[in-house]
Amino acid sequence: MGRWFVERRAMMWGWRWLTVVLFFVAAVAAAPAPTSSSCPLNFTVLDGFPSVVAHVRGSDSLEKKCLDLSHGMDVLLSVYLKSTGYFLPPPEAAESCIQAQELYFQEPNITQLCGLSPALISRGTDNCQRIQTREDFRNITQAAGVAASLDTCKNSGALADGNTKSAACAACTKALTFVANSLRGSGNGSDNLCLDYTAMYTGAEVVTAGPSDATTLLCLWGILAFEVSKENQLQWWLYLVIGAVVIFFGASCAWIAIVLRRRRRLKQSNDEFVTRTKGMLHGSMGEHGGGLTWYNIEEIRAATHNFDVEMIIGQGGFGNVYKGVLPDGREVACKRFKDCTAAGDANFLHEVQALASVRHKNLVALRGCCIASLGEGRLAGYQRIIIFDYVKNGSLQDHLFGNKDVDDQILTWPQRLKIATDTARGLEYLHSGVQVQILHRDIKPSNILLDGDFNAMVADFGLVKFTPDGMTHMTTRVAGSFGYVAPEYAMYNQLTERSDVYSFGVVLLELISRRKAMTPDPVTSELLIDWAWRLIKEGHWEEILDKRLTDLGTAFEMERFVMLALLCAHPQVYYRPTMASVLRMLENAQQVPSLPDRPVPVTFSKAAFQAALASSSSSLSMSFTTSKSSVSHSALI
Could you tell me which residues are beta bridge partners of residue 389?
Answer: 332
- Domain assignment of residue 355, given as a range: 233-390
User: Cα separation of 398 and 393, whole Å?
Assistant: 9
User: Cα separation of 440 and 483, whole Å?
Assistant: 15
Same domain, 293 and 386: yes
**What's residue 157's pLDDT?**
54
Q: Which long-range contacts (CB under 8 A, 24 or more apart) does 185-192 make?
A: 186/129, 186/140, 186/144, 188/129, 188/130, 188/140, 189/126, 189/128, 189/129, 189/130, 190/126, 190/127, 190/128, 190/129, 190/130, 191/128, 191/129, 192/127, 192/128
To the question of whether residue 335 is assigned a binding role by annotation, the answer is: yes
Instruction: With a cut of 50, say whether residue 623 has pLDDT above it.
Output: no
Same domain, 344 and 410: no
Same domain, 425 and 315: no
Do the domain assignments include residue 11?
no
Do the domain assignments include residue 55?
yes
For the segment 175-196, the average pLDDT, to the nearest whole number, is 79
Same domain, 143 and 237: no
Same domain, 442 and 351: no
For the segment 560-588, the average pLDDT, to the nearest whole number, is 95
DSSP string, 382-423: EEEEEEEE--TT-BHHHHHH--TTS-S-PPPHHHHHHHHHHH
Confidence band (pLDDT; 50, 70, 90) for 407? low
User: Cα separation of 527 and 30, whole Å?
Assistant: 120
Could you give phi then psi for residue 437, rounded to 5 degrees?
A: -55, 140
DSSP E strands in 400-493: the ranges are 437-439, 448-450, 456-458, 465-467, 473-474
User: Cα separation of 459 and 475, whole Å?
Assistant: 22
Same domain, 241 and 205: no
Confidence band (pLDDT; 50, 70, 90) for 632? very low
Do the domain assignments include residue 26?
no
Of the listed ranges 174-188, 349-363, 381-395, 458-472, the least confidently predicted one is 458-472
Q: Could you tell me if 79 and 212 are in contact, meaning their C-beta atoms sit under 8 angstroms apart?
A: yes
Instruction: With a cut of 70, say whether residue 282 has pLDDT above it.
Output: no
Note the pLDDT tens digit of each residue in 26-46: 443 333 333 447 899 888 888
Q: What CATH number is given to the structural domain containing 336? A: 3.30.200.20
More confident position, 413 or 366: 413
Could you give phi then psi for residue 166, rounded to 5 degrees?
A: -105, 175
Do the domain assignments include residue 518?
yes
Instruction: With a cut of 50, say whether residue 90 has pLDDT above it.
Output: yes
Same domain, 454 and 440: yes
Q: Determine the residue type at 111.
A: T
Q: Could you tell me if 455 and 599 are in contact, meaning their C-beta atoms sit under 8 angstroms apart?
A: no
Question: Which residue in the list 442, 500, 521, 551 is annotated as catalytic?
Answer: 442
Same domain, 403 and 383: no
Mapping DSSP to helix (H, G, I), strand (E, B) and coil, where does residue 228 land? coil
Instruction: With a cut of 90, say whether residue 415 has pLDDT above it.
Output: yes
More confident position, 291 or 310: 310
Note the pLDDT tens digit of each residue in 225-278: 655 444 445 656 777 888 899 999 999 999 998 988 877 776 666 667 667 666
Distances (CA, A) of 74 to 67, 121, 135, 474, 594: 11, 10, 19, 90, 104
For residue 118, is it left (φ>0), alpha (ψ between -120 and 50) or beta? alpha
**What's residue 103's pLDDT?**
86
Could you give phi then psi for residue 468, rounded to 5 degrees?
A: -55, 145
Instruction: With a cut of 60, say whether residue 24 has pLDDT above it.
Output: no
Of the listed ranges 114-123, 184-193, 559-568, the least confidently predicted one is 184-193
Report the largest interatomic distance among the alpha carbons of the chain, rounded to a whole angstrom: 187
Do the domain assignments include residue 37?
no
Mapping DSSP to helix (H, G, I), strand (E, B) and coil, where does residue 191 land? coil
User: Cα separation of 605 and 537, whole Å?
Assistant: 23
Of the three residues 390, 407, 438, the one that is the final residue of a domain is: 390
Same domain, 584 and 603: yes
Same domain, 135 and 116: yes
Instruction: With a cut of 60, say whether residue 149 has pLDDT above it.
Output: yes
Domain count within the chain: 3
Do the domain assignments include residue 228?
no
Q: What CATH number is given to the structural domain containing 413? A: 1.10.510.10
Do the domain assignments include residue 534?
yes
Averaged confidence pLDDT in the chain? 78
**Please, how many CA atoms are within 13 Å of residue 226, restricted to the half-sphere of its CB?**
7
**What's residue 13's pLDDT?**
36
Of the three residues 390, 409, 441, the one that is the final residue of a domain is: 390
- Residue 422 is a catalytic residue: no
Q: Is 447 exposed, middle or buried (0-12, 13-18, 19+ CB in 10 A)?
A: buried
For residue 467, is it left (φ>0), alpha (ψ between -120 and 50) or beta? beta
Same domain, 590 and 567: yes
**What's residue 228's pLDDT?**
43
Same domain, 329 and 447: no
Do the domain assignments include residue 60?
yes
User: Cα separation of 9 and 15, whole Å?
Assistant: 10
Of the listed ranges 133-147, 420-434, 494-508, the least confidently predicted one is 133-147
Of the three residues 390, 422, 438, the one that is the final residue of a domain is: 390
